Amino acid sequence: MRLEERFMRYVALLAGYALLLQAILTAVEIVSRKLFNHSLQGVDELGGYVLAISASVGFGYAVVTHAHTRVDFALKHATMALRSVLHLLASLVLLVVSSGMLWFAVRSLRASIRLGSTATTPLQTPLWIPQGVWVFGMVMFVLVSLVTLLRCVARLRHGDHEGVEALLQAQSSEQQELLSAGFEGEAQGRTD
């Protein structure tokens, strides 16, 4: 497993645990409201932060696990050289999109810092805190998109079309199920 894959896996696990903790807090909030007529202030606010941060981390994790949605019905009928060019184009578009998302995230973070913005909720969270973690996720998304594009270009320069295919080929649903179950070795060995 490459360095960025290992790193993104750990970050994605942290995001998953944060989602699990948020689900538990939400369940406690529901029970507390129904049984004791008492609300744990801020659970919904924290849920929004956790969701946004988990999504930004998930974007980068999807890049390294080849989990982004693709319409690949035409790729199956294309030559290996054409597939490589299309994979390169897809990698470039992904880098542009991720960079645009990062630009808007940083812009939002800078405005929150400049204005000293806080949430208009009982917690009054300084918005730079969740937005800073959100920007971190976006930075990871851009970095893994860039690394993927650079690897694609390097393999294309050497005429390694099979290497480009292995690097960027979308996984089958069976491979995705094995990966989510923790069977990385088996998933890597299976092809469509």
Q: Is a pLDDT exceeding 90 seen at residue 73?
A: no
Q: What is the domain count for the chain? A: 1
Write down the pLDDT at residue 170: 64
pLDDT in tens, 139-176: 999 999 999 899 999 998 988 888 888 777 765 555 55
Distances in Å between the Cα of 50 and the Cα atoms of 15, 105, 113, 142, 174 are 8, 15, 20, 20, 29
Task: Record the pTM.
Answer: 0.78
Q: Which residues contact 170 (CB under 8 A, 6 or more apart)?
A: 66, 68, 70, 72
Q: b or e along 104-139 (b: 16 or more beta carbons within 10 Å of the residue's beta carbon)? A: ebeebbeebeeeebebeeeeebebbebbebbbebbb
Residue 43 domain boundaries: 3-189
Distance of CA 117 to the CA centre of its chain: 26
Going by pLDDT thresholds of 50, 70 and 90, the confidence category of residue 181 is low
